[in-house]
Chain A
Amino acid sequence: EAQVTQNPRYLITVTGKKLTVTCSQNMNHEYMSWYRQDPGLGLRQIYYSMNVEVTDKGDVPEGYKVSRKEKRNFPLILESPSPNQTSLYFCASLPLSNTGELFFGEGSRLTVL
């Protein structure tokens, strides 16, 4: 089954404790992206990647890092989480060969205390 898989789905952590949210897709998509969803603000793009070793900042990159060492994986790294990073995070992918829609993971709800 074609899918985007995120882990963990739920996480409660404390300020300053480094964490990684993994994202993996099995559709051989070149493009992958991270979004955060906050009430009343819709989805805001954090980082995106057009292919392996190619990443770029989205609209709200501060406090986040990403890497794209393999085509299927695009982890989101919070080196020193803060309470304002409490949010619902979505990973998405897209094949660049067509102009279709984004495929989303089920989301990761992160709470930083």
Chain B
Amino acid sequence: AQSVTQLDSQVPVFEEAPVELRCNYSSSVSVYLFWYVQYPNQGLQLLLKYLSGSTLVKGINGFEAEFNKSQTSFHLRKPSVHISDTAEYFCAVRDGGNAGKSTFGDGTTLTVKP
């Protein structure tokens, strides 16, 4: 079974600093990778996704992630964060061979301080 590990449960950072949220997944022949964001009292919305092709993926709000197959990682980065980026971030993996199964990490709470 697929598993997803988000290496940091909480990441505090000051405004305008860079941030990296780390995600590792268990190996599979083919996977689709996603980062979702959940703002307080809201549902989840897609930040970015990797399906195939270029390993560097750009998403909304200035976020990007890099797919590293050898390290089975999909870390999320932003060069300069804003207060409004304060939210919970979830890494998710879907096995290419099983459209019905998406596995989520436990989430990383990003807190941006002024």
On whether the two chains bind one another, the answer is: yes
Q: Please determine whether A31 and B43 come into contact, CB atoms closer than 8 angstroms.
A: no
Q: A40-B106, A42-B104 are in contact. Are A50 and B99 (CB under 8 A)?
A: yes
Q: Please determine whether B106 and A94 come into contact, CB atoms closer than 8 angstroms.
A: no
Q: Please determine whether A100 and B49 come into contact, CB atoms closer than 8 angstroms.
A: yes
Alpha-carbon separation in the docked complex, A4 to B102 (Å)? 18
Q: Chain B nearest CB: distance from A59 CB in Å?
A: 8
Q: Please determine whether A40 and B102 come into contact, CB atoms closer than 8 angstroms.
A: no
Q: Please determine whether B51 and A106 come into contact, CB atoms closer than 8 angstroms.
A: no
Most chain A CB within 10 A, of B92, B94, B104, is at: B104
Identify which of residues 64-113 in chain A touch chain B, using a CB-to-CB cut-off of 8 Å: 90, 94, 96, 99-102, 104-107
Q: Chain B nearest CB: distance from A5 CB in Å?
A: 11
Q: Which residues on A sit within 8 Å (CB–CB) of B46?
A: 101
Alpha-carbon separation in the docked complex, A83 to B36 (Å)? 28
Q: Which residues on A sit within 8 Å (CB–CB) of B96?
A: 99
**Interface residues of A, Cβ cutoff 8 Å to B:** 31, 33, 35, 40-45, 48, 50, 56, 90, 94, 96, 99-102, 104-107
Identify which of residues 11-62 in chain B touch chain A, using a CB-to-CB cut-off of 8 Å: 32, 34, 36, 42-46, 49, 51
Q: Please determine whether A40 and B43 come into contact, CB atoms closer than 8 angstroms.
A: no
**Interface residues of B, Cβ cutoff 8 Å to A:** 4, 6, 9, 32, 34, 36, 42-46, 49, 51, 90, 92, 94, 96, 99-107
Query: Known pairs A43-B44, A106-B43. 16 more at Cβ < 8 A?
Result: A31-B99, A40-B9, A40-B107, A42-B90, A43-B90, A45-B102, A48-B100, A94-B99, A96-B99, A99-B94, A99-B96, A99-B99, A101-B49, A102-B34, A104-B44, A105-B43
Q: Chain B nearest CB: distance from A35 CB in Å?
A: 8
Q: Can you show 15 pairs from A to B with CB atoms below 8 A apart?
A: A31-B100, A33-B102, A40-B107, A42-B107, A50-B100, A90-B44, A96-B99, A99-B32, A99-B99, A102-B34, A102-B102, A104-B43, A105-B43, A106-B42, A107-B42
Q: Chain B nearest CB: distance from A71 CB in Å?
A: 16
The 8 closest A-B pairs by CB, nearest first: A42-B106, A43-B104, A104-B43, A101-B46, A106-B43, A42-B104, A104-B44, A42-B107
